[in-house]
Structure 1
Amino acid sequence: MNVETETMKNEAAPEIRIGGGVPVLGPRDTPVAEVVHACHSASIDQGLAALAIPGLNRETLEPVLQYCAGLRCVADNVSCPGCKRRTEAQGIETLDQFILSKKEVIVGDGRVRLKGEGTETVTTPCLETLSKQWSGENYWFWARRVIRKLRHGLRRAHMRGEPVAGEGETPSIILMEPQLADNIGMVARACANFGLDDLRLVSPRDGWPNEKARIAASGANYIIDDARAYGTLEESIADLNWVGATTARQRDLRKPVLTPEQAIVEMRKRISRGERCGVLFGRERNGLETSEVAVADAFIMIPVNSRFASLNLAQAVLLTGYEWMRSDAGRSLGRVTTYEKPLTEGLYLGRDRPATKEELLGLFEHLERELETNGFFNPAHRRSTVSQNLRTLLTRLNATEQEVRTLRGIVATLSQGKGRARKREE
């Protein structure tokens, strides 16, 4: 054990104190919410390293998280800056009330400033961000998630998976400046669902690699591990021969317009010739710029409600992936395990088999014999027509061998009675 580790072990666990109406800990009076945020936005170890609070480590972190997760701040009549509980306790219900409660809200580079009646000055990158974040974060919910990570590790962290195809055998999925790590994780999961192994990121806002993306991938870890980040769009597509750009907006560019189904046909044709292909997806907020679409070979436009055409990023990738997998002749429906065989469209028979014509004819004759005995064919000259109708109906069932046996048992039981029917069958 090195000196640094020994020192951390011997340091006393930091206690939560109340300072200025805020639960804090450590020599710099770090708010509890800041501890939760650091460990939630990155890995626990990365968060602890960034906080650098003496005595705060994996062994001493959980009591701090439990304070927040259990809302013990309510009993102490305190709250953290940026917490939704604080705005609720202050009775702030609207954005207007929030701005009024501050001394000044500085927007962007400071050329826009909103004056209020309070004493605190806050900053925000833009008014759109302020409108979404003014009420604060649910830190207690974040704390509960970090506790689960602390106790059990990342959900499905043991699941590794592996690519289903060789390099270049599937289209590359390219995300242009993705804003949220959670969205990258959900895209990775969609890629894994449909066998798209190559994920490329152009200038992800929150950096790469990112632990939150791994969590959101929900087991698609190999996609996350193999994903590559690029500084520019040109770098991300440099090795590709054909690129389709997804868009919901019409562009004044003379390029082929394809549905996902048509785009997949084009890419499969090109990949079979040894070319490499990719599909470019835009930012969550405003999609792709026209200058970015201009470098693509075709538009890919998904059939949608024309009055509500914007898709979630992961949904758009999932629809494209579905078309890719749907056109794969070797696909299977649902999962395949050691005990489950691949399934294809059509009637599922399991261990059963379709009835033979001999078995069906035996059923017809048995049924008609019992109906004759019980006077069903009346008038008699209608027997031929009724028998043909019955045979047509039963043939249309596509019955299995077991189902034919069951039907014959039903006929025997109804005509003879349960005990007598069994004796007669023997």
Structure 2
Amino acid sequence: MDTPSLARLLSPEGWALLNALPPYDEKQAMALATRLRADGVDPELAAAALTQSRLRAKARAKLGDFADGMLFTPDGLEQATRLVVAALHARRYLAAGVTKVADLTSGIGADALAFAGVGLQVLATDVDEVTAAAATVNLRHFPEAEVRHTDGLTLDLAAEGVDGVYADPARRTRGGRRVFDPAAYAPPLDAVWALRTQVPALGIKVGPGIPHQGLPDDAETQWVSVDGDVVEAGLWFGPLAPDGPGRSALVLAAVPDGAGGSRTATRVLRTGPGDELVPDVGAVGGYLYEPDGAVIRAGLVAHAAAELGGRLLDRTIAYVTTDQPAPAPADGAPPVATGYRVLDVMGFSLKRLKAYLRERGVGRVTIKKRGTAVTPEQLRSQLSLRGDAEATLVLTRIDGAQHVLVVEPLAG
């Protein structure tokens, strides 16, 4: 979205058109565009409105009903924090006693919305004019939130009365390619975390693939997953890390609320300096557990194994095995791992596996893998599957040798 398109949408005619459009349907988009032109709507305005309608529909997965009243840029939506996670960010600042947060890279304002929503004053900045304008629209209902088109690193934080800082540096190039080197973030990660000398309550959202090497030793680094999808990591400094430095995994999952709906359950697994565990390694038991992705990224597989009462199949592979089913988490918290019952174990042999599946009439397989170079798509094509039965195969390494585990998911 460019500046002229945004200006058109913010005109009374444009805003009315955008909010009068039916729910976005890709299959009907061309017909709707044709109808709008036939009704005399300016083609450029119609295109801008339909683009926003499409972005709003896509944004609902992250922002729920809030998306229906917001404006987006494609890049801003891509980087926007999910609302359920942004709300937890806001609670950190609130619990730390922060009163005014500077969101130095606000994007379209998802985190700023959450900050303002819990009563914090917000100063949101973005270097892109169109993005800052979209954030201004998105924060229009919060008089305590101010948006500026500027470089957040140039702010005089003390003069602005800021006692909390948040940043979400851009991690993609203009061409859309992911950036993994923190020094290549925009702004560079070093420049942002240096601000903790001015404002101790500093939080930084980073990509979940950030390496452990080089992480600041005075931060809590937390990896976050939502319904099994690892969505971010965060660096939290000073009063925003009340349990002190270390690594943690925050697992969020939708669970039934008992009234026909659902609620978001949370679970945190963490380790501090000196709390490292050496995992047991042993033979395959009756059950297999795959730790949540946030647990794996945080390097807490050994801690998950201890909680599950299990051992690893291999010291370098994130599969845990137990002899008995692991107890259910207390208080309705989400599990730290997905469980399976082990039905069979065999050394990897394509011929033997094909015969095994053929004898059981297996026509559909789910293939999971860790520690093997086998490509699931290629293996599936080689299995010549026929039949009505289904199976779940786990390809992994045991005692240095490739194996196949035939498993079935545990209920719940």
Common fold, TM-score beyond 0.5? no
- Higher Rg of the two aligned structures: 1
Q: Which has the higher strand share?
A: 2
TM-score, length-scaled by structure 1:
0.25
TM-score, length-scaled by structure 2:
0.26
Structure with higher RCO (Cα < 8 A, 6+ apart): 1
